[in-house]
Amino acid sequence: MTASATTKVRLDEPYHRPLLIEGAEDLASVTNRVCGVVERPKPPRAWYIAITISGSMTLMLGAMVVYLISTGVGVWGNNAPAFWGWDIVNFVFWVGIAHAGTLISAILFLLRQKWRTSINRAAEAMTLFAVCCAGMYPAVHVGRIWVAYWLFPVPNQMQMWPNFRSPLLWDVFAVSTYATVSALFWFMGLVPDLATLRDRATTKLKRVLYGFFALGWRGSARHWQRFERAYLLLAALATPLVLSVHSVVSFDFAVSQVSGWHTTIFPPYFVAGAIFSGFAMVVTVMVPARELFGLKELVTLRHLENMNKVILATGSMVGLAYATEFFIAWYGGNPYERFTFVNRAFGPYAWAYWIMIFCNVVVPQFFWSKRIRTNLWLMVVVAILVNVGMWFERFVIIVTSLARTYLPSSWGYFKPTWVDVCTFAGTIGLFFTLFLLFCRFLPMVAIAEVKTVLPAAHAHKENGHE
Amino acid sequence: MSEAQGALHSLVAEFDDVDGVSAAARAVRDAGYKAFDVYSPFPIHGIERSMGLRATRLPWLVLACGLTGTVLALFFQWWTNGHDYAFKISGKPLFGVPANIPITFEFTVLLAAFGAFFGMFVLNRLPEHHNPLFENERFRRATDDGFFLAIEARDAQFHERATRELLQSLTKHTVVACHESGESRALPVWVRASMAGAGALALVPLAAIVAARYRDSTQAPFHLIKDMDSQTRYRAQAANPFFADGRAQRPDVAGTVEFDRFRTDPALLTGRAGEAFVDQIPLSVTAELMQRGRTRFAVYCTPCHGGAGYGDGLVAQRAATLQEQAFVPPASLHDPLVRARPAGQIFDTIRNGVRSMPAYGRQMSIEDSWAIVAFVRALQRSQNASVEDVPDAERGRLGTR
């Protein structure tokens, strides 16, 4: 390769840029660095502190769920007229966060964005954990959780079948399919790395456990060939899937006749919001994780900056969606629709609405500045605010529309109970507990994939390819 | 290497980089070997061409799985909602493709993803937790930074010395032989025994359910979760100290209209004996019954039939005034045809209605209906009487005028 060719390639092929993987990494050092996190005898002290806090919160979640099931849904604030409250708000919030992982794994893979290799594993894991938090809500909010299987088309003694024409059932299928496919995708990518951990294991227990889940992977070229093809196919399948999931979630609202919900903009608007919140969560989690576990050379500032650019782009899309909603509420000439939107911005929930606008529309605009989007502290602050804003977006959509519907005599004001608050805090605890366990016991970075973007992965001789 | 060596499995050559192993793969392929493989910590771009591998069949498998998902989902939605348990929701069609698209799509993706995931592992013959190559300490670098090429002994062209020479000419590392493990590859006896035991135990609940399904029992069904099957309420026939008479089941309030009390007298209940109507009122006709009949007649019958039963009640009069064409005028109870009807038929008409007259069986008790029959009979007598019907003692008060 001549010098001029190298310069040219730098612009077109990101994996030749020095920033993608920093330092003089070779195959063995990548293995050592990622496996070193898992293999060190003790995790850093911050890990213990973090898991103590998040573990306690998870226990609280367990207590709240037991209290809810043993007492009834009345322990939550949901009541006439707002029959959907924090349960659905939090469900949509967590499902939204779950979109970043598959987006990074699948869409960026299809678009050949090689920078994804350093962050896709952690983002996919985050997806799974967020789906756990999200999936919990529909399961427990049905009240009689022991008949939750009625959601699925299981033959039963009532000889009834679920209504397949209902968006709520579409939701069951979309979210469970998404959870399953994300788990398969994640596990498949993990198998070669589990084999690496198996082959480096120093104790018999580790060798047996990692070996069991590595399924006997030995890096055979015949295996890699099918593996890569399966990975490509899964990415191609997961791409429309990830877009469909939040579209279907938005159908829960859009197919109803509640003003403020009954709009065709919902599917793309929800998907943009989901990617927005998901990337914000990846940044929130990855910045401390890369500091804590010494992965700064693999997860570089360039990765974080790229994610911040995605946050800026999707945040602007979300802002555009808010404006479009308002425009259509006026332009559509429907007095109920117009009332709903004026009520959102200036009614009893105006405080929530303006928090949402500030966090989702105003705050991400700071990322136009390279100084801010490459500053670790500031990017975390922005990412956290974006997550707050996205929570309020779901709250505003669900609660303001329900609290003031067509019948003024039944208007009300939704108030959460302490159980609502503790349950939500508990899901945050569950999310971080799972993530911390993941960091400790599984390779946080896709070792085999990162190796493919190293120079050593490419044949250099003229006859390297046929 | 383990002490107990079995048959030769393969000859393994190690390489330091992608170029070396790729060149070696081409050389081995050109030498005509088929049963050889390259091992690397990551997928090597273009190695399948160097090795002369054919494209995998996996995409076809995934396509087949996806199409199966599409067809299954569509069929299942039609069969459940459109056929087996058809019910109308919001006037939507029982089976309409647009409403079934989301689930069809999700199921297509799900089955296609299963095809890609499980298909990849099955075609790769994984999981395979033991392979002779794992016996080689150096081979562990295949998941770290080592590159290996192994020619298996089962290849038709394999010749230990010639193959070794070929491999040695390609690498600067020493070519090593890899042997089948001398130990049996079968699982230890205790593992197999416990797996069989666990399998047998897993069948026990299933067997218990099947046994219970086909056996009669006098026991109440067992409910793990009570739901609404068990409630804090009194059952029929139970005692309840709250009431003075100690009965939980309360007697009917006076005037309760019965529907299904257990009574067997067909004449009383239906006004018929066999097919034919009875002509006798099956109750004893007393002054009280007659009085009850008079008041019930005034309430229920007068509006149409009129106070004296000539079919000239207020409803009929108004209909005549408005010249309602569709109105069927109420019969005069004094029409010879009506008078000739047996008591049971009048009772039947009251209970079940006739033409445009509604049925009153759900509004008045059996006894009240018979009371009206008795009163109607008296009315008919009164409007069609001759002087002879008047008792002698009273006759003087009539005919004197």
CATH number of the domain at A223, please. 1.20.1630.10
Domain, as residue range, for A246: 3-457
Pairing state between β B36-39 and B147-152: antiparallel
Would you give per-residue pLDDT tens digits along chain A (466 residues)? 333 333 333 333 444 444 456 666 788 888 988 898 888 888 889 999 999 999 999 999 999 999 999 888 999 999 989 999 999 999 999 999 998 888 888 888 888 888 888 888 999 999 999 999 999 998 899 888 888 888 889 887 788 899 999 999 999 999 999 999 999 999 999 999 999 999 999 999 999 999 999 999 999 999 999 999 999 999 999 999 999 999 999 999 999 989 999 999 999 999 999 999 999 999 999 999 988 888 888 888 888 999 999 999 999 999 999 999 999 999 999 999 999 999 999 999 999 999 999 999 999 999 999 999 999 999 999 999 999 999 999 999 999 999 998 989 999 999 999 999 999 999 999 999 999 999 999 999 999 998 888 877 776 544 444 3
Of A27, A144, A216, Cβ closest to residue B128: A216
The single-letter DSSP state of residue B7 is E
CB A428 within 8 A of CB A285: no
Q: Does B74 touch chain A (CB under 8 A)?
A: no
- Cβ distance B124 to A222 less than 8 Å, yes or no, reads yes
* ipTM of the modeled complex: 0.91
A contacts of B20 (beta carbons < 8 Å): none
φ, ψ dihedrals at B119, nearest 5° = -60, -40
Q: How far apart are CA B33 and CA B298, in angstroms?
A: 110
**Beta bridge partner(s), residue B81:** none
User: SS3 of B286, please?
Assistant: coil
Residue B323: pLDDT band (50, 70, 90) is: confident
Is the pLDDT at B63 greater than 90? The verdict is: yes
Report the predicted TM-score, pTM, of the whole model to 2 decimal places: 0.78
Residue of chain B whose Cα is closest to the Cα of A240: B109
Q: What is the mean pLDDT of residues B255-273?
A: 79
What domains, with CATH codes, occur in chain B?
1-182 (no CATH), 266-382 (1.10.760.10)
Residue B213: pLDDT band (50, 70, 90) is: confident
Q: Does A155 touch chain B (CB under 8 A)?
A: no
- Cβ distance A244 to B105 less than 8 Å, yes or no, reads yes
Alpha-helical regions (H) of A13-119: 27-39, 45-71, 86-97, 99-102, 108-110
Is the pLDDT at B64 greater than 70? The verdict is: yes
Q: What is the mean pLDDT of residues B103-115?
A: 96
Nearest to B302 by CA among B226, B370, B375, B352: B375
**Beta bridge partner(s), residue B36:** B151
* A463 in a structural domain: no
B contacts of A233 (beta carbons < 8 Å): 58-59, 62, 112, 116
Which residues numbered 168-207 in A keep a CB inside 8 Å of some CB on B? 169-170, 173-174, 177, 180-181, 184-185, 188, 192, 195-196, 198-200
The single-letter DSSP state of residue B389 is G
HSE-up of residue A124 (Cα within 13 Å, Cβ side): 31
Helix H or strand E encompassing B304: helix B302-305
The single-letter DSSP state of residue B131 is -
φ, ψ dihedrals at B150, nearest 5° = -120, 130
- CA A177-A180-A185 angle, 5° bins: 120
Smallest CA–CA distance, residue A220 to chain B, in Å, is 4
B contacts of A170 (beta carbons < 8 Å): 102-103, 106
pLDDT of residue A235: 92
Q: How far apart are CA A213 and CA A187, in angstroms?
A: 9
- Cβ distance B41 to A460 less than 8 Å, yes or no, reads no
State how many domains chain A has: 1
pLDDT of residue B389: 79
* A466 in a structural domain: no
* A465 in a structural domain: no
Of A180, A195, A225, Cβ closest to residue B53: A225
Helix H or strand E encompassing B176: strand B176-181
Beta-carbon contacts of B3 under 8 Å, excluding residues fewer than 6 positions away, are B182
* A464 in a structural domain: no
Q: What is the mean pLDDT of residues B126-153?
A: 90
φ, ψ dihedrals at B80, nearest 5° = -75, -55
A contacts of B127 (beta carbons < 8 Å): 215-216
Torsion of CA B330, B336, B338, B339, to 10 degrees: 130
Chosen from A30, A224, A447 to mutate, greatest number of chain B CBs within 10 A: A224
* A333 in a structural domain: yes
B contacts of A449 (beta carbons < 8 Å): 42
Q: How far apart are CA A254 and CA A431, in angstroms?
A: 29
Of B81, B128, B227, Cβ closest to residue A164: B81
A contacts of B126 (beta carbons < 8 Å): 215-217, 223
Is the pLDDT at B248 greater than 80? The verdict is: yes
CB B1 within 8 A of CB B176: no
Is the pLDDT at B401 greater than 60? The verdict is: no
